[in-house]
Chains A and B, each alone.
Chain A
């Protein structure tokens, strides 16, 4: 086994055996899965039955409230005191008070509740009343409600990309955007996280003074590259475990609670209610369900349109490339200073391109093929984050290849530069290094 491999092995093993690695490895996928699962669960769980009593003094709306899965409505006459009493007895969660003048003065509407108001129930009531007020006003103005309903047309443009070979693929900008943001941020976080681990590792060797013992056995560049590669492998391992565990956790949840992940709306409602619906209303319902179907279908189709192997492979490549590029610079910084506090002055120029990438990601997403996106995804300092953000939207292979080649050249350049700073820096103590000093080290043969 070569000495570099021995160093890589130590760097890797000491890190993966740390408790923090274990915690991160387990917490990461749980967090990621939670981001996906929790909103679904919360939506399901928080909407427990919410009983609303309706006191409609105007006698216009009390029969217009249909129970939903989570909210039930019960007209309780016109006695508000009685209704409030019922609420305090625990029969109802809230009382909707529609005063006689409500139609003329909608601001007189009140929703009383003993506990804090259920927000989604409030929204639901508002929506129902809004529709009812509108149709009432329309019929007062002599417009038929049927006409109005037929005017309402759901619009959902299907975006289609024509590839160079003429193949048509449906585009899902929303899904691409999400993936774009996620992968861009992930690359950024990974580079930062593991880059600073390299910095701290170099600094540790320097401050503990073990470095001189080691470089009497191996070349400084072997030590530096051993650390960079070892930490990089830790990052890669963590990423792959995350990918596998995240998919596994989501998979388990899907198996355990299949109803939670069903995208179809309540067909039963449609069937039972269809018996009393007119033909025209049925058409509307159908269109509604179709739209729902296409939304659910779109999501599924959009996700399946994403080429996950390509996404993961390019993530691995751009993570490794970007990491190697920055890790070398981090190693150089670690070697040039005596303690963590002194790293600040050198951190700035290294972090600026990374921060710039993250700031620009918004712009890139809105125009993933524009000149800014192109240039930032070509320049090695910003390309890992920006290219990763562009890939979900599709990037021509030529650009991808150019960016990849430049990134490889970029990290070779930073490694060369860093190695020259590193071999001098690790043996320098007590002197506060300046940029001028670093430049001398680089020039020195």
Chain B
């Protein structure tokens, strides 16, 4: 597998608690990789280790199959969850300074920054102090600083927290463009819905351990719920009972003569068999599989049950 980043058995122990336990992940090149998990699962610790801000107690990290070394920081762009800038320092000067710390030459940094600033309409603010900028503009500046040195690997920790919706869209577009241009992106978030649409690979981390990793499509297939929802008009033949054990009724409701049934296919039964059964009840106006969200998969992985499997009849 062509992995840009590979971690092997990363373990990190803080005094009194284990932050990471033997975590191995593979981030394919040019992918958007979601590092998902609840708060306190160890995501930020893993990211800090990749950024060489802290060292692991055990384990190895490879970038393009070479062991991680200090020089690699130039190939990584990192937007931390808690982020800020020097409030009293001029925006342009500060961006150049941070770019130089990433190994860029002053002139090159200035030239590239100008392009980015033009693009984000920030040019008039070049000589302003950061504290004079609005929150949204500061966020744009932070994003530019993260990507300016054209890193191979971009790491965003909770990228959309604190960004307003317009900036979130701008950010998403830019991130997708960067990926097309060859960058690999890691998203770390506890808000799984926010990045689900973007990610093509994910790893789930819970209580310091990786509990799931893989391609999103593959995972969704594996975790197919086999739960379907059907809307049937004039369900005159619907007795409210399922006659055989091939299907389980999870939920029914009726609305203006339309019955909505949520059913789970059990055992070796097929979708066609379910459809045959439903056809006998009335006119099917809608039929769909309820695909589990990453959040559902996470809950299933942790608790063993999908939240959509919950039983119960509700009348609407």
Contacts and interface: CB of A to CB of B under 8 A. Distances in A.
Interface of A: 1, 3, 6-7, 10, 14, 204-205, 208-210, 212-220, 423, 427, 429, 440, 444
Interface string B138-153: 0000100100000000
Which 5 residue pairs across A and B have the least CB separation, nearest first?
A: A209-B84, A217-B101, A208-B84, A212-B80, A216-B78
A219 B52 CA distance: 8
Contacts, number: 62
Given A208-B87, A440-B15, A444-B15, A217 B82 contact: no
B98 A213 contact: yes
Contacts of A1: 100
B77 to A, nearest CB: 9
Contact of B82 (A10, A209, A216, A218): A209
Contact of A427 (B48, B87, B103): B48
The majority secondary structure among interface residues of chain B is loop
Nearest to A14: B89
B45 to A, nearest CB: 10
Contact of A216 (B51, B86, B89, B100): B51
B145 A213 contact: yes
Contacts of A14: 88-89
30 contacts: A1-B100, A6-B97, A7-B101, A10-B97, A14-B89, A204-B87, A205-B86, A208-B84, A208-B85, A210-B84, A210-B86, A212-B53, A212-B80, A212-B83, A213-B78, A213-B80, A214-B98, A216-B53, A216-B73, A217-B73, A217-B102, A217-B103, A218-B73, A219-B70, A220-B53, A423-B54, A427-B48, A427-B53, A427-B54, A429-B82
A444 B100 CA distance: 31
Contacts of A219: 70
The majority secondary structure among interface residues of chain A is helix
A216 B83 contact: no
Contact of A215 (B53, B76, B100, B102): B53
Nearest to A217: B101
Contact of B98 (A205, A217, A427): A217
Interface in B46-87: 48, 51-54, 70, 73, 76, 78, 80, 82-87
B30 to A, nearest CB: 22
A201 to B, nearest CB: 10
Given A213-B98, A214-B98, A440-B15, A204 B86 contact: yes
A215 B51 CA distance: 9
Contacts of B142: 213
A6 B101 contact: yes
A218 B97 CA distance: 12
Contacts of B84: 208-210
A352 B76 CA distance: 44
A208 B138 CA distance: 12
A190 to B, nearest CB: 23
Given A3-B101, A6-B101, A213 B83 contact: yes
A208 B80 contact: no
A444 B80 CA distance: 24
Contacts of A212: 53, 78, 80, 82-83
A6 B106 CA distance: 11
A429 to B, nearest CB: 7
A369 B76 CA distance: 59
A218 B102 CA distance: 8
Nearest to A215: B53
Nearest to B90: A14
Contact of A208 (B78, B86, B101): B86
B73 to A, nearest CB: 6
Contacts of B54: 423, 427
Nearest to B53: A215
A354 B85 CA distance: 34
A87 to B, nearest CB: 62
B76 A216 contact: yes
Nearest to A214: B101
A292 B225 CA distance: 107
A6 B97 CA distance: 8
Contacts of B103: 217
Question: Most chain-B Cβ atoms within 10 A of its Cβ — which of A212, A215, A440?
Answer: A212
B142 to A, nearest CB: 8
A25 B89 CA distance: 22
Question: Most chain-B Cβ atoms within 10 A of its Cβ — which of A14, A208, A427, A429?
Answer: A208
B135 to A, nearest CB: 13
Contacts of A214: 98, 101
Contacts of B73: 216-218
Given A208-B87, A212-B80, A217-B102, 11 more contacts: A3-B101, A6-B97, A6-B101, A7-B101, A204-B86, A209-B83, A210-B85, A210-B86, A213-B80, A440-B15, A444-B15
Contacts of B145: 213
A423 B48 CA distance: 12
Interface string B99-123: 0111100000000000000000000
A139 B15 CA distance: 93
B80 A218 contact: no
Interface string B277-296: 00000000000000000000
